[in-house]
């Protein structure tokens, strides 16, 4: 058994249940992945390094990585990730597909959120801003950043303009609604981090750390 799989976000859609309910789902191209390496650390859980197999051929692979893939007898991949494994885990060269999950299973999905560039406090933190009347002179500014006398500095954690998005985030407790084993599609209820085409790591919520 393996902890998770690598995938790519396709987009959001909706499916209908037999009783007519509409469920918003995110479609994920989950795998197929190949096991590139197995690691065993004394006193810790074993792990396996997976590589996502994509339709595009990987070019410009450097010599160390060529030897790494050749040792496992697998094609080069762009995306590698290590996942914890149990004793009955796949060996090097084996394929890991979407069938490691089942419908109604709860998963955690890790990815990179959408980058929104440099933003002000109104968009970044939801500050109310000032009045929009003529002559206000205070519309979308941050306002006071700290007291002048004591402590005479900006308090740590103060909401300020800055880079928004583009961070690592994990959304927990998503339900697997439907699985398409032929096309390696995983449909989970709700939204996941990132834009379409973003790499995702789908993890089993039931996996217990050893």
Query: What class has domain 4-115+168-204?
Result: mainly beta
The pLDDT tens digits of the residues spanning 9-31 come to 999 999 898 888 899 999 999 87
Rounded to an integer, the average pLDDT of 129-149 is: 88
Distance CA 156, CA 65 (A): 43
Q: What is the rounded average pLDDT for all residues in the chain?
A: 87
pTM of the model: 0.82
E strands, the chain, are 4-16, 22-30, 33-39, 47-52, 80-84, 95-96, 106-112, 117-119, 162-164, 168-180, 185-189, 199-204
**Is the pLDDT higher at 84 or at 29?**
29
Structure tokens at 87: 């004793």
Q: How confident is the model at residue 204 (pLDDT cuts 50, 70, 90)?
A: confident
Q: Assign 86 a pLDDT band (cuts: 50, 70, 90).
A: confident
CA distance 88 to 188: 26
| Domain ranges (residues) in the chain | 4-115+168-204, 117-164
Give per-residue pLDDT as tens, 157-194: 899 999 999 999 999 999 999 898 889 899 999 899 99
Query: Above 90 in pLDDT, residue 114?
Result: yes
Q: Is the dihedral of CA 59, 113, 50, 25 positive or negative?
A: negative
3-state secondary structure of 98: helix
Q: By three-state DSSP, how is residue 72 classified?
A: helix
């Amino acid at each position: 058994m393996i902890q998770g799989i690598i995938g790519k976000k396709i987009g959001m859609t909706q499916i209908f249940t037999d009783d007519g309910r509409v469920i918003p789902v995110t479609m994920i191209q989950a795998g197929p992945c190949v096991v590139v390496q197995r690691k065993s650390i004394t006193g810790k859980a074993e792990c396996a390094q997976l590589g996502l197999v994509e339709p595009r051929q990987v070019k410009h692979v450097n010599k160390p990585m060529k030897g790494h893939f050749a040792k496992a007898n697998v094609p080069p991949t762009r995306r590698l990730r290590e996942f914890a494994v149990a004793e009955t885990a796949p060996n090097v060269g084996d394929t890991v597909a979407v069938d490691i999950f089942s419908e109604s299973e709860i998963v955690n999905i890790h990815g990179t959120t959408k980058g929104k560039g440099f933003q002000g406090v109104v968009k970044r933190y939801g500050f109310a801003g000032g009045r929009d009347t003529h002559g206000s002179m205070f519309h979308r500014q941050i306002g006071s950043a700290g007291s002048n006398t004591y402590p005479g500095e900006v308090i740590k954690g103060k909401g300020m303009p800055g880079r928004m998005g583009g961070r690592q985030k994990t959304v927990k407790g998503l339900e697997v609604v439907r699985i398409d084993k032929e096309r390696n599609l995983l449909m989970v209820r709700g939204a996941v981090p990132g834009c379409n085409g973003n790499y995702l790591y789908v993890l089993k919520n039931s996996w217990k750390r050893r």
